[in-house]
């Protein structure tokens, strides 16, 4: 559980909101593409 907490805290520190974190955790657990994080556009 400590590792999960560190991942969540790291994602928050990187500016992720709660929905994005939850979707990422669902993607890790289920592998469903609908929860897969989208690539950031580096041209912004």
Whether the pLDDT of residue 1 is over 90: the answer is no
Q: Model's pTM, two decimal places?
A: 0.78
- Distance, in Å, from the CA atom of 41 to the CA atom of 37, rounded to the nearest integer, reads 12
Instruction: State residue 39's pLDDT score.
Output: 82
Residues 16-43 pLDDT 10s:
999 999 999 999 999 999 999 988 775 5
Report the pLDDT value the prediction gives residue 44, as an integer from 0 to 100: 47
Residues 39, 44: Cα–Cα separation, whole Å: 12
Q: Where are the alpha helices (DSSP H) in 1-44?
A: 2-13, 18-30
- Per DSSP (E only), the strands in 1-44 are none
C-alpha angle 24/2/18, rounded to 5°?
30
Per-residue pLDDT at 43: 56
């Amino acid at each position: 559980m400590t590792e999960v907490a560190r991942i969540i805290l790291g994602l928050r520190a990187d500016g992720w909101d709660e929905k994005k974190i939850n979707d990422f955790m669902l993607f890790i657990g289920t592998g469903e593409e609908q929860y897969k994080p989208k690539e950031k556009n580096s041209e912004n």
